[in-house]
Amino acid sequence: MEYILAKNNEEDFQGFLQLEEEFDRHYVALGVGEQYIRVSFLEKPEEAKRVEFEKNFKNDAYFLFAKEGEEYAGYISGVIQENDQSYKIRQLGIMDTIVVAEKYKGKGISNKMKDLFFEWLKSKNVSVCQLHVITKNTSALEIYKKWGFEVDELRLWKKI
């Protein structure tokens, strides 16, 4: 398995599409679209998908692929968020998305990508990382807890 920083090119865009489409099917199966009336990635126009891909190339962003030969096995993306002066922690690492294709799950890929992301955060002098996970995604939640993440709040919602 090789881990490479993503490039803003057509090959990586196609790999991103493949992984996002698989991730989206998983999200739909969890009922996420029902909760937030979320538009499925598969339903988005091509231009919106490209915008979503390109947001990962901002100056304060991290975007890495796991590849097995020419095949895209997974990716991780995240950013550094600048907090205002009301926070003692001025910079916060945000693990935005971590995806591993179904056929590659259980091979330690997400763990390795997480480690590489944490190394990047440390190199930027960021000492805290945050992520969001849908509570129905119990398998991901358990992995994040195993990695040392702690639940510190719950977000509630209600249709009105």
For position 38, what pLDDT does the model report? 60
pLDDT < 70 stretches in the chain: 27-40, 83-89
For position 40, what pLDDT does the model report? 67
**pTM of the complete model:** 0.86
The domain of 62 spans: 2-146
For position 35, what pLDDT does the model report? 57
Establish if 73 belongs to a structural domain.
yes
For position 117, what pLDDT does the model report? 97
Number of domains in the chain: 1
Establish if 160 belongs to a structural domain.
no
Establish if 151 belongs to a structural domain.
no
CATH number at residue 56: 3.40.630.30
For position 57, what pLDDT does the model report? 93
Which tens digits make up the pLDDT trace of 82-116?
A: 766 666 667 889 999 999 999 999 999 999 999 99
In whole angstroms, give the CA distance from residue 89 to residue 39: 34
Establish if 12 belongs to a structural domain.
yes
Establish if 103 belongs to a structural domain.
yes
Which tens digits make up the pLDDT trace of 71-90?
A: 999 999 999 987 666 666 67
